[in-house]
Amino acid sequence: MPKSVLLTHGDLDGITSGAIALLAFPASEFYFTRPSQIHQDLYRIAKDNPNIVHVSDIAVNSKMFSELLRALDQFPKSTQLHWTDHHPMTTKERHELHKRVDLFYEIGPCTAELVYRKFEELLPEHALRLALYGAIGDYCDETPFVKAHFDDVDKRTLYLEAGLLVQALQEIDYRKESKDLVHQLAMGIKPSSMDDIISLALKATRIEHEVFRYVQQNARKLGPIGYVLDMPINGYRGKSAKFSAYVTDSKIGISARSSADDVDMSIRRRRTNVDLNKTLNIILKDLEGSSGGGHPAAAGASLDLNDFQKFLQLLADHVEKHS
Ligand SMILES: [Mn+2]
Protein backbone atom coordinates (compact mmCIF):
# COMPACT_ATOMS: atom_id res chain seq x y z
CA MET A 1 0.00 0.00 0.00
CA PRO A 2 1.38 3.45 -0.83
CA LYS A 3 2.24 5.48 2.21
CA SER A 4 4.00 8.57 3.39
CA VAL A 5 6.51 8.92 6.19
CA LEU A 6 7.49 12.05 8.13
CA LEU A 7 10.76 12.45 10.00
CA THR A 8 11.48 15.42 12.20
CA HIS A 9 13.43 16.76 15.15
CA GLY A 10 12.14 16.65 18.76
CA ASP A 11 12.36 20.35 19.67
CA LEU A 12 9.51 22.82 19.19
CA ASP A 13 10.53 23.76 15.65
CA GLY A 14 10.76 20.05 14.82
CA ILE A 15 7.41 19.27 16.40
CA THR A 16 5.59 22.14 14.70
CA SER A 17 7.22 21.53 11.31
CA GLY A 18 6.27 17.86 11.65
CA ALA A 19 2.68 18.78 12.59
CA ILE A 20 2.44 21.07 9.55
CA ALA A 21 3.83 18.30 7.32
CA LEU A 22 1.20 15.98 8.80
CA LEU A 23 -1.48 18.46 7.71
CA ALA A 24 -0.01 18.49 4.20
CA PHE A 25 0.24 14.66 4.13
CA PRO A 26 -2.53 13.36 6.41
CA ALA A 27 -2.31 9.83 7.80
CA SER A 28 1.45 9.73 7.40
CA GLU A 29 3.62 7.65 9.66
CA PHE A 30 5.52 9.94 11.97
CA TYR A 31 8.95 9.52 13.60
CA PHE A 32 11.36 11.65 15.56
CA THR A 33 14.99 11.48 14.53
CA ARG A 34 18.26 13.36 14.89
CA PRO A 35 21.24 14.29 12.70
CA SER A 36 23.38 11.39 13.93
CA GLN A 37 20.69 8.81 13.23
CA ILE A 38 18.75 10.04 10.17
CA HIS A 39 20.69 7.83 7.73
CA GLN A 40 19.75 4.69 9.69
CA ASP A 41 16.09 5.70 9.77
CA LEU A 42 16.10 6.35 6.02
CA TYR A 43 17.67 2.95 5.33
CA ARG A 44 14.89 1.30 7.33
CA ILE A 45 12.11 3.34 5.69
CA ALA A 46 13.43 2.77 2.16
CA LYS A 47 12.70 -0.96 2.52
CA ASP A 48 8.95 -0.19 2.51
CA ASN A 49 9.05 1.78 -0.76
CA PRO A 50 6.96 4.69 0.56
CA ASN A 51 5.55 7.12 -1.99
CA ILE A 52 6.39 10.22 0.05
CA VAL A 53 9.08 10.94 2.65
CA HIS A 54 9.39 14.34 4.30
CA VAL A 55 12.38 15.23 6.52
CA SER A 56 12.24 18.46 8.52
CA ASP A 57 14.56 20.36 10.86
CA ILE A 58 17.36 17.80 10.71
CA ALA A 59 20.85 19.27 10.37
CA VAL A 60 23.22 17.62 7.93
CA ASN A 61 25.93 15.92 9.94
CA SER A 62 29.08 16.42 7.85
CA LYS A 63 30.79 13.33 9.26
CA MET A 64 27.84 11.12 8.28
CA PHE A 65 27.13 12.83 4.98
CA SER A 66 28.24 10.02 2.66
CA GLU A 67 26.08 7.55 4.61
CA LEU A 68 23.16 9.90 4.34
CA LEU A 69 23.58 10.02 0.55
CA ARG A 70 23.85 6.24 0.40
CA ALA A 71 20.63 5.96 2.42
CA LEU A 72 18.81 8.39 0.11
CA ASP A 73 20.02 6.37 -2.88
CA GLN A 74 18.14 3.32 -1.51
CA PHE A 75 14.78 4.84 -2.43
CA PRO A 76 13.19 3.93 -5.77
CA LYS A 77 12.52 6.67 -8.33
CA SER A 78 8.83 6.50 -7.41
CA THR A 79 9.47 7.87 -3.90
CA GLN A 80 9.01 11.62 -3.60
CA LEU A 81 11.69 12.80 -1.16
CA HIS A 82 11.22 16.18 0.53
CA TRP A 83 13.88 17.78 2.72
CA THR A 84 13.05 21.04 4.48
CA ASP A 85 15.61 22.64 6.76
CA HIS A 86 17.41 25.76 7.97
CA HIS A 87 20.65 24.46 9.50
CA PRO A 88 23.93 25.58 7.95
CA MET A 89 25.32 23.22 5.32
CA THR A 90 28.16 23.55 2.84
CA THR A 91 27.52 24.38 -0.82
CA LYS A 92 28.71 20.91 -1.76
CA GLU A 93 26.36 19.23 0.72
CA ARG A 94 23.50 21.35 -0.55
CA HIS A 95 24.31 20.43 -4.12
CA GLU A 96 24.49 16.69 -3.42
CA LEU A 97 21.28 16.76 -1.41
CA HIS A 98 19.54 18.77 -4.11
CA LYS A 99 20.33 16.03 -6.66
CA ARG A 100 18.41 13.49 -4.57
CA VAL A 101 15.59 15.32 -2.81
CA ASP A 102 13.14 18.15 -3.28
CA LEU A 103 15.16 20.54 -1.10
CA PHE A 104 13.54 23.58 0.49
CA TYR A 105 16.35 25.32 2.28
CA GLU A 106 16.85 28.77 3.72
CA ILE A 107 18.98 30.15 6.53
CA GLY A 108 17.10 32.60 8.74
CA PRO A 109 13.53 31.31 9.04
CA CYS A 110 12.68 28.34 11.26
CA THR A 111 11.83 25.04 9.60
CA ALA A 112 8.15 25.33 10.56
CA GLU A 113 7.93 28.56 8.55
CA LEU A 114 9.58 26.84 5.58
CA VAL A 115 7.27 23.80 5.68
CA TYR A 116 4.29 26.14 5.94
CA ARG A 117 5.44 28.21 2.96
CA LYS A 118 6.24 25.13 0.89
CA PHE A 119 2.83 23.49 1.34
CA GLU A 120 0.68 26.56 2.05
CA GLU A 121 -2.04 25.73 -0.48
CA LEU A 122 -2.59 22.30 1.06
CA LEU A 123 -2.93 23.60 4.63
CA PRO A 124 -5.84 24.61 6.87
CA GLU A 125 -5.77 28.05 8.45
CA HIS A 126 -4.62 26.88 11.87
CA ALA A 127 -1.32 25.60 10.41
CA LEU A 128 -0.12 29.20 10.38
CA ARG A 129 -0.13 29.36 14.18
CA LEU A 130 2.08 26.28 14.27
CA ALA A 131 4.59 28.00 12.00
CA LEU A 132 4.65 31.00 14.36
CA TYR A 133 5.13 28.77 17.45
CA GLY A 134 8.09 27.15 15.68
CA ALA A 135 9.54 30.58 14.91
CA ILE A 136 9.29 31.63 18.55
CA GLY A 137 10.74 28.31 19.70
CA ASP A 138 13.81 28.66 17.49
CA TYR A 139 14.37 32.43 18.00
CA CYS A 140 13.51 32.93 14.31
CA ASP A 141 10.70 35.42 14.96
CA GLU A 142 12.06 38.38 13.03
CA THR A 143 11.67 37.14 9.46
CA PRO A 144 9.45 39.16 7.07
CA PHE A 145 6.93 36.27 7.10
CA VAL A 146 6.69 36.14 10.89
CA LYS A 147 6.59 39.92 11.33
CA ALA A 148 3.80 40.22 8.77
CA HIS A 149 1.70 37.60 10.53
CA PHE A 150 2.39 38.96 14.03
CA ASP A 151 0.78 42.12 12.74
CA ASP A 152 -2.47 40.19 12.15
CA VAL A 153 -2.87 38.90 15.70
CA ASP A 154 -2.01 39.79 19.29
CA LYS A 155 1.52 38.43 19.31
CA ARG A 156 1.63 38.39 23.11
CA THR A 157 -0.96 35.61 23.09
CA LEU A 158 1.11 33.66 20.58
CA TYR A 159 4.15 33.99 22.83
CA LEU A 160 2.14 32.61 25.74
CA GLU A 161 0.97 29.61 23.69
CA ALA A 162 4.45 28.99 22.26
CA GLY A 163 6.04 29.57 25.67
CA LEU A 164 3.82 26.89 27.21
CA LEU A 165 5.14 24.45 24.60
CA VAL A 166 8.79 25.50 24.96
CA GLN A 167 8.61 25.01 28.71
CA ALA A 168 6.59 21.79 28.70
CA LEU A 169 9.04 20.24 26.23
CA GLN A 170 11.77 20.48 28.87
CA GLU A 171 9.80 17.91 30.85
CA ILE A 172 8.65 15.65 27.99
CA ASP A 173 10.47 12.62 26.65
CA TYR A 174 10.26 13.52 22.98
CA ARG A 175 10.30 9.91 21.77
CA LYS A 176 7.09 9.10 23.68
CA GLU A 177 4.71 11.89 24.65
CA SER A 178 5.62 14.27 21.85
CA LYS A 179 3.94 12.15 19.20
CA ASP A 180 0.56 12.79 20.83
CA LEU A 181 1.43 16.46 21.02
CA VAL A 182 2.10 16.53 17.27
CA HIS A 183 -1.31 15.01 16.59
CA GLN A 184 -3.08 17.41 18.95
CA LEU A 185 -1.37 20.41 17.36
CA ALA A 186 -2.24 19.13 13.89
CA MET A 187 -5.88 18.92 14.96
CA GLY A 188 -5.80 22.58 15.94
CA ILE A 189 -5.88 22.18 19.72
CA LYS A 190 -4.17 25.13 21.37
CA PRO A 191 -1.57 24.59 24.10
CA SER A 192 -3.68 26.65 26.54
CA SER A 193 -6.36 23.95 26.20
CA MET A 194 -3.97 21.08 26.94
CA ASP A 195 -4.10 20.56 30.71
CA ASP A 196 -1.05 18.30 30.80
CA ILE A 197 1.00 20.83 28.81
CA ILE A 198 0.04 23.66 31.14
CA SER A 199 1.02 21.80 34.29
CA LEU A 200 4.27 20.57 32.74
CA ALA A 201 5.04 24.10 31.55
CA LEU A 202 4.57 25.55 35.04
CA LYS A 203 6.60 22.76 36.61
CA ALA A 204 9.38 23.30 34.07
CA THR A 205 9.36 27.05 34.70
CA ARG A 206 9.79 26.53 38.44
CA ILE A 207 12.60 24.06 37.79
CA GLU A 208 14.21 26.52 35.37
CA HIS A 209 14.46 29.10 38.16
CA GLU A 210 16.18 26.46 40.33
CA VAL A 211 18.49 25.62 37.44
CA PHE A 212 19.46 29.28 37.25
CA ARG A 213 20.32 29.33 40.95
CA TYR A 214 22.34 26.12 40.56
CA VAL A 215 24.29 27.53 37.63
CA GLN A 216 24.88 30.78 39.50
CA GLN A 217 26.55 28.83 42.33
CA ASN A 218 28.36 26.16 40.29
CA ALA A 219 29.41 27.54 36.90
CA ARG A 220 33.13 27.58 36.24
CA LYS A 221 35.02 29.93 33.96
CA LEU A 222 37.83 29.30 31.51
CA GLY A 223 38.76 32.47 29.64
CA PRO A 224 35.73 33.50 27.55
CA ILE A 225 33.80 30.33 28.45
CA GLY A 226 31.44 29.76 31.34
CA TYR A 227 30.37 26.16 31.85
CA VAL A 228 28.59 23.66 34.06
CA LEU A 229 29.38 19.97 34.03
CA ASP A 230 26.89 17.36 35.25
CA MET A 231 24.12 19.50 36.61
CA PRO A 232 22.05 17.28 38.96
CA ILE A 233 19.01 17.50 36.68
CA ASN A 234 18.31 16.24 33.17
CA GLY A 235 17.37 18.53 30.31
CA TYR A 236 17.45 22.35 30.48
CA ARG A 237 20.69 22.17 28.55
CA GLY A 238 20.23 25.11 26.21
CA LYS A 239 18.93 27.23 29.05
CA SER A 240 21.72 26.31 31.47
CA ALA A 241 24.31 26.93 28.75
CA LYS A 242 22.91 30.43 28.31
CA PHE A 243 22.84 30.99 32.09
CA SER A 244 26.46 29.78 32.36
CA ALA A 245 27.59 32.49 29.97
CA TYR A 246 25.65 35.17 31.82
CA VAL A 247 26.59 34.33 35.42
CA THR A 248 30.30 34.13 34.56
CA ASP A 249 30.14 37.18 32.27
CA SER A 250 31.43 35.10 29.36
CA LYS A 251 30.96 35.09 25.60
CA ILE A 252 30.29 31.36 25.45
CA GLY A 253 28.15 29.22 27.74
CA ILE A 254 28.29 25.42 27.91
CA SER A 255 26.13 22.91 29.70
CA ALA A 256 27.80 19.51 29.58
CA ARG A 257 26.84 16.05 30.76
CA SER A 258 29.24 13.15 31.03
CA SER A 259 28.55 9.44 30.74
CA ALA A 260 31.03 6.59 31.13
CA ASP A 261 33.39 7.68 28.34
CA ASP A 262 31.73 10.60 26.58
CA VAL A 263 30.64 14.12 27.25
CA ASP A 264 27.72 15.70 25.47
CA MET A 265 27.04 19.42 25.55
CA SER A 266 24.91 22.35 24.50
CA ILE A 267 26.73 25.53 23.57
CA ARG A 268 25.33 29.06 23.35
CA ARG A 269 26.86 32.47 22.69
CA ARG A 270 26.35 35.81 24.40
CA ARG A 271 27.12 39.31 23.16
CA THR A 272 29.39 38.01 20.39
CA ASN A 273 28.92 37.11 16.75
CA VAL A 274 31.33 34.19 16.76
CA ASP A 275 29.76 31.44 14.60
CA LEU A 276 29.48 28.38 16.86
CA ASN A 277 28.73 25.98 14.01
CA LYS A 278 31.81 27.03 12.02
CA THR A 279 33.96 27.13 15.13
CA LEU A 280 33.02 23.56 16.04
CA ASN A 281 33.67 22.38 12.50
CA ILE A 282 37.21 23.70 12.84
CA ILE A 283 38.17 22.63 16.35
CA LEU A 284 36.44 19.23 16.40
CA LYS A 285 38.65 18.16 13.45
CA ASP A 286 41.47 17.79 15.98
CA LEU A 287 39.45 15.58 18.34
CA GLU A 288 39.04 12.02 17.19
CA GLY A 289 35.57 10.50 17.59
CA SER A 290 33.95 13.86 18.23
CA SER A 291 30.94 15.29 16.46
CA GLY A 292 28.97 18.49 16.65
CA GLY A 293 27.52 21.56 15.02
CA GLY A 294 24.21 23.35 14.75
CA HIS A 295 23.45 27.02 14.24
CA PRO A 296 25.70 30.08 14.52
CA ALA A 297 24.17 31.01 17.90
CA ALA A 298 23.23 27.58 19.27
CA ALA A 299 25.10 24.34 18.82
CA GLY A 300 25.97 21.03 20.43
CA ALA A 301 28.87 18.63 20.54
CA SER A 302 29.85 15.22 21.88
CA LEU A 303 33.35 14.00 22.48
CA ASP A 304 35.53 11.68 24.50
CA LEU A 305 35.36 12.67 28.17
CA ASN A 306 39.18 12.70 28.32
CA ASP A 307 39.18 15.44 25.65
CA PHE A 308 36.83 17.79 27.50
CA GLN A 309 39.50 20.07 29.01
CA LYS A 310 41.41 20.11 25.72
CA PHE A 311 38.19 21.03 23.91
CA LEU A 312 37.50 23.90 26.32
CA GLN A 313 41.01 25.21 25.78
CA LEU A 314 40.76 24.97 21.96
CA LEU A 315 37.41 26.73 22.04
CA ALA A 316 38.66 29.42 24.42
CA ASP A 317 41.69 30.10 22.19
CA HIS A 318 39.53 30.22 19.08
CA VAL A 319 36.97 32.58 20.59
CA GLU A 320 39.67 34.89 21.97
CA LYS A 321 41.32 35.08 18.56
CA HIS A 322 38.13 35.57 16.51
CA SER A 323 35.92 37.90 18.52
MN1 LIG B 1 14.95 24.33 13.89
Are 21 and 119 within 8 A, CB to CB?
yes
Q: Give Cα 177 distance to the centre of its chain.
A: 17
Q: Check if the beta carbon of residue 264 is closer than 8 Å to that of residue 231.
A: no
Residues flanking ion ligand 1, Cβ below 5 Å? 13, 57, 111, 138
Summarize the chain as % helix, strand, coil (round to 5).
50, 20, 30
pLDDT per residue of the chain (323 residues) written in tens, 0 to 9: 569 999 999 999 999 999 999 999 999 999 999 999 999 999 999 999 999 999 999 999 888 899 999 999 999 999 999 999 999 999 999 999 999 999 999 999 999 999 999 999 999 999 999 999 999 999 999 999 999 999 999 999 999 999 999 999 999 977 778 999 999 999 999 999 999 999 999 999 999 999 999 999 999 999 999 999 999 999 999 999 999 999 999 999 999 999 999 999 999 999 999 999 999 999 999 899 999 999 999 999 999 999 999 999 999 999 999 88
| pLDDT attached to residue 194 | 97
> Which pLDDT score, from 0 to 100, does residue 173 have?
79
**DSSP 8-state symbol, 192:** G
Helices of type H across 171-257: 177-187, 195-218, 237-247
CA of 1 to the centre of ligand 1 (A): 32
**Span from the CA of 110 to the centroid of ligand 1 (angstroms):** 5
DSSP string over 96-110: HHHHHSEEEE-SSS-
Whole-Å CA distances, 91 to 18, 36, 96, 278, 299: 25, 20, 9, 14, 20
Q: How far is the CA of 120 from the centre of ligand 1 (A)?
A: 19
